[in-house]
Amino acid sequence: MLTDLKEAVFKANMELAKSGLVIMTFGNVSGIDRRKGIVAIKPSGVAYDALKADDIVLVDLEGQVVEGWLNPSSDTPTHCEIYKAFPEVGGVAHAHSVYATTFAQARREIPCYGTTHADSFHGPIPLTRLLVESEVAEGYERNTGKVIVERFAGLDPLALPGVLVAGHGPFAWGRTPDEAVETSVILEQVAAMAFGTITLAPRLAPLDRHIMEKHYLRKHGPDAYYGQKKEEDR
């Protein structure tokens, strides 16, 4: 069942580990088949060097296992909430990468200080609120997804394809599992640059908006001209 999706999610998980963003088993990637409403996700606590494509677990959008003999990631309900709220998203990645997690633990969003950030994120990287005690006591992982969705009220999740969960760490997404991993890598690099920028210039204001807009829209806007045209557009 959904062999291609499981293979894509397996490869994306291996890329996340290869990127250096994951130590031990601190990370997971998922993907979704929108037509069937099935999510494929890494099993919980399985070491990356032991992971196989057949180990990837299939769940429905309520997190119930529909195929697999291993427990799905403990973060599965968070991924499912993101998929339910953001229909354009096809892959979600989570890692406790050092710099992005540092900002999450400091409860600070990541300002846009330069064009590297603006190339991929249309504004500062959002920060959620902390979960209250009752949200942690019951349905913690699902409520983590809900505070992400709450934070994105009025925001475009594809223009800002990542978030910092306060006290926890980053989640990133994209149209595919591979794209979600790529976003995770960019988010960590942007976080490292922002951390260095704040260290050197604590009072620096964010990048002027007209520069930020130029860099984002030349790559993502309707008149984008960065890169090469896709074959179907030629």
Q: So which residues are the catalytic ones? A: 119, 226
- Which of 216, 210, 167, 166 lies closest to 190, judged by CA? 216
CA distance 148 to 1: 30
168, 144 Cβ separation under 8 angstroms:
yes
Strands of 27-33's sheet in order across:
65-67, 57-60, 38-41, 27-33, 91-95, 169-174, 162-165
Type of residue found at 131: L
124, 163 Cβ separation under 8 angstroms:
no
